[in-house]
Structure 1
Amino acid sequence: MRAWHLPAAAALALLFPCAPRAAAADGPPGVEPPALPPAAREVGIDERPGRAIDTALAFEDMTGRRAPLAEHFDGQRPVLVTLAYFRCPMLCDLVLRGLVSGLKRLDYHVGDQYRALTVSFDPRDTPEAAARKRTATLSALGPGGAAGADAWPFLTGEQPEIRALTDDLGFRYAYEADTDQYAHPAGVFVLTPEGRISRVLYGAEFSARDLRLALLEASRGQVGTAFDRVIMTCYRYDPASRRYGPYVMGLLRLGGAAILCGVVTALALFRWSGRRRRQEGAR
């Protein structure tokens, strides 16, 4: 049981940060809620929007080739970054499966409108383990899912580089020696094409709408269609719900623009009709 208890507890602590307080209020008087394991109390994500990660940090890909992270940021496409260790008994696979499930419902394609990157935070992981995890993950994307290695590489690294990257992202995790497992949060980082943190999507399930809007936001509207950019003006990220929702002012602006277009069109038709009647009368 303890092999997967810490990651599960960490995810619950992240997704429901008020749960212990609520349990204390609703439970029997004098009964304390069950405490999280010590390692799980240290995990979480410190949001750092706009912070640039150190793209000079070098990691190994599935073939064992060592290269800086800058290689995966082309200045044109946003990058979805997941942190996972490849022998995780539960939570890492849940996050990766949830991400793949959301991406399958999105009409964007990895390698085209966006790139993805999965980095292990366990220095004992090997390129061979990364290759196996990548194959299992991308095969679930269906036809075209196993894109080129540069579209969604799985990386491993040494402890100093791992610690520097997780610190840049604000990803706090802890090693539990008794179980030889890590307690860690659940989420996906959405980075700009230049490697700055744009948004964090929390949990182990990701809707196509949230993924689309986060990618649009990170690319400043440079990916997607003109319709996508219109939709982006009507939704905003809500920190309370940690989801994208309708943006009232955006909807009002869109409605106002539609009304204005309608009025201009009506006036143009009225003037054209009047000119035509005058021309017919002159005959």
Structure 2
Amino acid sequence: MRRLAWALALSMTLSLAPAVAAEETRALPMAAREADVDERLGGFVPRDIVLRGERGESVTTGELLAGDVPVILVLAYYRCPMLCPLLLTGVAKGLEEAGYTPGQDYRLVTVSIDPEDTETDAAKRRDALAHKLGASPGSLRFLVGTAEATRAVADAVGFRYGYDSSTDQYAHPAVVTVLAPDGRISRYLYGLEPSSRDLRLAIVEAAAGKVGTIVDRVLVTCYRYDPATRRYGPYISGFLRIGSLLILCTVGTTLGMLWRRDRRRGRGGGPR
């Protein structure tokens, strides 16, 4: 009887859980409910979206994507009081620890989702991040644009955000989008501090092995992105392939050494 009572209580609790979760979701501000990411892996960022650079000059997304290295795309806004500065600091920390050089191994592009942000705001954020990276300000791009232009960039990568008029702030996810050199969406990295390993592997993956050392390319073989954890993790088949190759090399080397030793012995035992 007691077990039956426990079972009934548990079933009632589980049946109420979705309703409680739905009620909590409804309690969130509308802007917060809109903040999410609809991943568009394999999609492309249009090249004809016109933004403005740090000096007020017109810059198209095609110009931002021109080159042969991956693009680290961050969508944020420059007057953000908390989340955006933490995200940019976390990205800078991860990229610095990854050991890659901005402008040479990747391009960091930040686009403001707030049409009220100015070129001066963009330049200040750029200079501050360049200082943290120990990089030239010219190797980073911080851009602003009209509401339509920035929304077009966000829609292209599935970045959903909302404006809360009561606080005059934007609700948005903390995510970094990694683009291949041709503008194809290669990977999403979530959280305020993407790890240096995840950033490193995402850059190598997006560059199709054209960036990074041979060790980095081997790591990409042994690690795969796990959508469940949203991180790179060990890939057993990759380790097995690497292990098989090492065994083959070891056996081949051993056989070669034995063959050479036998040849020397044969020469030494022959008539002089």
Which residue is equivalent to 1:100? 92
Distance 1:227 1:39 in 2: 44
Unpaired stretches in structure 1, ≥5 consecutive residues? 1-20
Q: Of 235, 246, 250, which aligns to 1:258?
A: 246
Q: How does 1:167-206 map to 2 (within 5 A)?
A: 167-206=155-194
User: In terms of mean alpha carbon deviation, does 237-246 or 65-74 score higher?
Assistant: 65-74
Q: CA deviation at 1:33?
A: 4.8
Q: CA deviation at 1:74?
A: 3.0
Deviations along 1:68-104, one digit per CA (max 9) or x if unpaired, are: 1111223410000001111111111111011011112
Q: Secondary structure at the match of 1:261?
A: helix
Which residue is equivalent to 1:138? 130
Q: Secondary structure at the match of 2:177?
A: strand
Q: Of 247, 266, 270, which aligns to 1:278?
A: 266
Q: How does 1:206-221 map to 2 (within 5 A)?
A: 206-221=194-209
Which residue is equivalent to 1:9? none
Distance 1:246 1:134 in 2: 35
Distance 2:62 2:252 in 1: 49
Unpaired stretches in structure 2, ≥5 consecutive residues? 1-12
Which residue is equivalent to 1:61? 53
Q: Of 32, 36, 45, which aligns to 2:37?
A: 45
Q: Could you tell me which amino acid in structure 2 is paired with residue 69 of structure 1?
A: T
Distance 2:85 2:262 in 1: 68
Distance 2:41 2:67 in 1: 18
Q: Secondary structure at the match of 2:46?
A: coil
Distance 1:229 1:181 in 2: 41
Which residue is equivalent to 1:110? 102
Q: Secondary structure at the match of 1:194?
A: coil
Q: Could you tell me which amino acid in structure 1 is paired with residue 52 of structure 2?
A: E
Distance 2:248 2:222 in 1: 18
Higher helix share: 2
Q: How does 1:216-231 map to 2 (within 5 A)?
A: 216-231=204-219
Q: Could you tell me which amino acid in structure 2 is paired with residue 252 of structure 1?
A: L
Give every structure 1 segment of 4 or more consecutive aligned residues whose post-TM-superposition deviation is greater than 4 Å.
Answer: none
Flag the structure with larger Rg. 2
Contact 2:94 2:194 in 1 (8 A): yes
Q: Could you tell me which amino acid in structure 1 is paired with residue 113 of structure 2?
A: F
Relative to 1, partners in 2 of residues 1:129 and 1:148: Cα closer, same or farther, differing over 3 Å?
Answer: closer
Contact 2:126 2:137 in 1 (8 A): no
Distance 1:55 1:95 in 2: 26
What count of residue pairs does the alignment treat as equivalent? 256
Q: Secondary structure at the match of 2:182?
A: coil
Q: Of 165, 173, 189, which aligns to 2:153?
A: 165
Deviations along 1:209-268, one digit per CA (max 9) or x if unpaired, are: 000000011111110011111111000000000000000000000000000000111111
Which residue is equivalent to 2:81? 89
User: In terms of mean alpha carbon deviation, does 39-48 or 64-73 score higher?
Assistant: 64-73
Q: Secondary structure at the match of 1:153?
A: strand
| CA-atom RMSD in angstroms | 2.1
Q: Could you tell me which amino acid in structure 2 is paired with residue 201 of structure 1?
A: L
Contact 2:174 2:190 in 1 (8 A): yes
Q: CA deviation at 1:106?
A: 1.2
Percent of pairs with identical residues: 49
Q: TM-score, normalised by structure 2?
A: 0.89
Q: TM-score, normalised by structure 1?
A: 0.86
Q: Could you tell me which amino acid in structure 2 is paired with residue 274 of structure 1?
A: D
